[in-house]
Amino acid sequence: MRRIFVLLTSTLFVWSVSAGLAGAQGSSLGRKVVRSGGRMGIRSAADKVGSSHNLMVPVSSSVRKTVSSMHPILPSTVSPTDPLIRRVVQARETTQQPTNLYSGTVFQVEYNGHKEVYIAVAAHALVSDSQVLHKRFTIDVYIGEGKYKSVEVEIVQVSAPSMLDIAIGKILKGGEELVPFAISHTPLTAGQEAVSYGFAGQKMVIVPNRSFLSETPLCVRTTMPYPRTDRPGLCGSALVDEETGELLGVHTGSSYETKKPEQEDVGHATKASLLEVLVDAFHHGGEGTFPLFLGGQKVLDMPVDGYISEIRLLNDAGKPLWRRGFESKFAYDQVNEQISRLSPRYIELTVRRVHWDGDQLIEVRKSWDRTRRSYRYDLQEGRMVWASKPKEPVSNKQAVVNFFLGIPNY
């Protein structure tokens, strides 16, 4: 089995964020999504379950020298001459200051008859208020015996952190030593065993016996037999079929500290097949969609970089039965539970798209956001009955000026 991993880091840039805040407030440009976990212990109040997402830190584009004193700490079961280690890549900050290290996965797709290699990372790596990974960074490929080779990578396509939570990067030059994963398209079965590979800090981590529990159209859920306190850094690591060696998904977090005991220590991974959606969007100027299923029906073709900020369930007369806003991760199961319980006639969705604020990715949940669109779907007739018209985009900066001047953006 050929296995590839990416370990990503960047420089620490501390904003005024207090550890343990129930939720981090964004700038006037909108709420910047903060994923919980990491060494600073910041958590989002909207997350009903805990998450082992680590926080990311920015890397200066002006300096990209490898700090050779930092090497992976290998498991006792893996020797320095193991081919697995020579297929590991490591990215780090470019100064001598302490760094946070984290994971990513190298994968391969065939597009128009050509094989293309990408690096997948968790999209929430790009959105933290306190620490951020920039669009471009350097990875150091470990080739054994303490030797590294630096490779430049640039983020070329993103999805929303609160939906698919994946960003993909393109290797700008080099990287011939990388041996990417093939994507699995085989349906998963209950109890199927998987293994994940990645990094927690400098430590290379192999997590065996990740048993398949359930899935949604977006993600795979498995057991997570690894200590909670040691998980920061694992987001972006590869979830692999033990038998075939194919990529099942990209780890984006784990749930714990929940009121539902059956959900404790559950690992979440975005389905590997959705990586192909991001690649296709990259080849079409960032435009692409994936199907959103709710209540057993395909409700909408979601933009690949789209996210749901609010859902409303309505009766036959259009009166609200239930309403829920989403400040962070979309609660897929909760929405389906309410649809099953209330049997609504209509479902209304507010859909937005992520923005780049310089090198930082943000999810805006403000009224002036011009990517915002609303949809009403008839669950009884199985059709879309209404959709708001798209608006011409304006820059986030101009939108903020308009907002404070009281000038409508519509």
Full residue range of the structural domain in which residue 109 is found = 1-287
202/53 same-domain check: yes
What are the residues whose beta carbons fall under 8 Å from the beta carbon of 215, sequence distance 6 or more?
Answer: 188, 221, 271
**Cβ atoms of residues 134 and 33 within 8 Å:** no
Q: Are residues 281 and 296 in the same domain?
A: no
The tally of CA atoms less than 13 A away on the side-chain side of residue 330 is 27
Q: Which residues have CB under 8 Å from 328's CB, separation 6+?
A: 33, 34, 35, 44, 46, 47, 161, 162
Residues 70 and 32 in one domain: yes
Residue 34 has pLDDT above 50, yes or no: no
The pLDDT, as a whole number, for residue 206 is 87
250 in Cβ contact with 235 (< 8 Å): no
Q: What is the CATH number of the domain that holds 229?
A: 2.40.10.120
What integer pLDDT is reported at residue 220 of this predicted model?
Answer: 92
Last-in-domain residue among 267, 287, 307: 287
Task: State yes or no: pLDDT of 388 exceeds 90.
Answer: yes
- Site of tokens 């303490």: 146
* Helical ranges in 69-192 per DSSP H: 83-86
Share of the chain above pLDDT 90, in %: 36
Provide the 10 A C-beta neighbour count for residue 393: 12
Q: Residues 282, 292: one domain?
A: no
8-state DSSP, 180: P
Please state, in angstroms and rounded to a whole number, the distance separating the CA atoms of residues 228 and 189: 26
User: Residue 349 is which amino acid?
Assistant: L
Euclidean distance between CA atoms 66 and 20, whole angstroms: 33
Which of the listed residues 226, 258, 287 is the one where a domain comes to its end? 287
- For residues 313-349, one letter each, b for 16 or more C-beta atoms within 10 angstroms of the residue's C-beta and e for the rest, the string is bbeeeeeebbeeebbbbbbbeebeebbeeeebbbbbb
57 and 120 in one domain? yes
Q: Is 14 exposed, middle or buried (0-12, 13-18, 19+ CB in 10 A)?
A: exposed
pTM of the model: 0.77
More confident residue, 146 or 50: 146
Amino acid letter for position 166: I
Residue type for position 280: D
Q: Give yes or no for a contact between 58 and 134, defined as CB atoms under 8 angstroms apart.
A: yes
Q: Which amino acid makes up residue 162?
A: S
Looking at the structure, tell me whether residues 176 and 323 fall in a common domain.
no
Is residue 180 one of the residues assigned to a domain?
yes
Q: Which residues contact 11 (CB under 8 A, 6 or more apart)?
A: 57, 58, 59, 60, 93, 94, 95, 97, 99
pLDDT tens track for 101-112: 668 888 999 999
From residue 140, alpha-carbon distances to 5, 80, 216 in Å are: 11, 16, 35
Size of the chain in residues = 410
| Spatial separation of the C-alpha atoms in residues 200 and 188, rounded to whole Å | 27
Which of 127-131, 292-296, 316-320 shows the lowest mean pLDDT across its residues? 127-131
Are residues 247 and 320 both part of a single domain?
no
Task: Decide if 305 contacts 201 (C-beta within 8 A).
Answer: no
One DSSP character per residue, 112-127 reads TTEEEEEEEEEGGGGT
Q: 82 in a domain, yes or no?
A: yes
More confident residue, 28 or 206: 206
Closest CA to 347 of 373, 385, 309: 385
Q: What is the mean pLDDT of residues 141-151?
A: 69
- The reply to whether 73 falls in a domain is yes
> Is residue 410 one of the residues assigned to a domain?
no
For 216-345, list the strands marked E by DSSP.
Answer: 219-223, 238-241, 247-255, 266-271, 289-294, 297-303, 306-314, 320-325
**Beta-strand relationship, 355-357 and 346-353:** unpaired
Same domain, 115 and 103: yes
For residue 327, give the nearest of 364, 380, 290 by alpha carbon: 364
Closest CA to 233 of 272, 255, 205, 209: 205
Percentage of the chain lying above the pLDDT 70 cut = 66
Has residue 217 got a pLDDT over 80? yes
φ, ψ for residue 28 (rounded to 5)?
Answer: -65, -10
Average pLDDT over residues 86-106: 57
- Predicted confidence band of residue 115 (pLDDT cuts 50, 70, 90): very high
Q: Using an 8 Å Cβ cutoff, are 141 and 148 in contact? A: yes
Residue 310 inside a domain? The answer is yes
Kindly state whether residue 176 falls inside one of the protein's structural domains. Answer: yes
Q: For residue 136, what are the β-bridge partners?
A: 154
Pairing of strands 219-223, 238-241: unpaired
The mean per-residue pLDDT over the stretch 245-272 comes to 82
Mean pLDDT along residues 85-109: 61
Query: pLDDT value at position 247?
Result: 92
Confidence of residue 231 (pLDDT cuts 50, 70, 90): confident
* Together in a domain, 390 and 243: no
**Number of domains forming the structure of the chain:** 2
280 and 301 within one domain: no
Q: Which residues contact 26 (CB under 8 A, 6 or more apart)?
A: 32, 33, 129, 362, 364
Rounded-to-integer distance, Cα 49 and Cα 77, Å:
33
300 and 281 in one domain?
no
Residue that finishes a domain, picked among 287, 302, 317 = 287
Same domain, yes or no: 247 and 393: no
